[in-house]
Structure formats: structure tokens, C-alpha cells
Amino acid sequence: MAATLSPAQEGPARAPADLCYAGFWRRMAADLVDNIVLLPVVSALAPARWPAHLTLAALAQAVAADPLRQLFGLVFGVAYSVVFWVKFLGTPGKLLLSCHLVDAQTLGPLTVGQSLLRNVGYLVSYATLGLGFLWIAWDRHKQGFHDKIAGSVVLYVPRHPRRG
């Protein structure tokens, strides 16, 4: 049986053996949903005209053309994730796919500090050419580098637990 958590719940809900960790593909699908949700906002914040051939040099020029807009986009993305992680145990994509992001030790909501650390952890995962994200597929607790850095886990919590 999987653990059942509510957004306001503090402390462990079940013994660790009963936990069902959200796997790589479920988490990737949740990120895809979040990107679809954020696309209209990001599009509004992005430069009006991206270069036709997107190379690193062209991207650097486009970002340099309007750094304030890019900074606002970054701040918005971090604020979006922190608010949803702390208040609702996940972003809309995670919640739609029955995933809850919780503290690995207490199984309660992440703190703002943990959420900010998790965002920094994304940089580490990207800096290792995505290895930090792929790590989810191999890790026993399905943690990416960003989860390990923040002390978080993503649990699969079905809306209607199986009976039996």
C-alpha cells in the first residue's frame, strides 16, 4: 500500500517500507505538464524574436539583449516552484500525476530553504549534462542530484489506493 499524504500533513505517514517513490518517467511527464502550464508565461517573457539558428552564441546574444526580462523569468520560475512545493507538495504537473514532493526524513512539506536548495540542485543536475536527472532511474529512492542536495523525495500517492 502506498503512503497517503495531505498538503498540510506534517511528519511520517507510513513506515519507509510502505513508500512508493515516483519513477523517472512519471516525473518526466510531470515536468512536461509543468512546462506546458508555464509556456504561455515564458513566451510572454521571452525576447520577441529568437534567432533562426539557435546556437550557443546566438542564444547568448538573445539573452544579453534583454537580461532584465531573463532575470525576471528565472525569478518567476523559482518562485513558482517554491510556492507550489511548500504549499501544495508539488507543482500542477506533479499533482496531476499523483506525485508529492516531501522532506525525505519527515515526509512533511519542504521548507522554503529546502525548496531554494532544490532549485540550486537543478543547476548541478544540468551541469553534469543531465546525469543528475537520469540518476532518478537508478537510485533506490528515485532521487535526482537536486533531491539529494535538498533532502527531498518524490512519492507516488495514488488518489484511490488499491484495496487488499
Q: How many CB atoms lie within 10 A of CB 7?
A: 12
140 in a structural domain:
yes
**Tens-place pLDDT, residues 102-144:** 999 999 999 999 999 999 999 999 999 999 999 999 999 999 9
Tell me how far the alpha carbon of residue 20 is from its chain's centroid: 17
23 in a structural domain:
yes
Range of the domain at 120: 19-46+62-156
139 in a structural domain:
yes
Work out how many domains the chain is built from and give that number.
1
107-136 burial, b at 16+ Cβ within 10 Å, e below that, comes to: bbbbeeebbbbbbebbeebeeeeeebbebb
pLDDT at site 48: 54
33 in a structural domain:
yes
112 in a structural domain:
yes
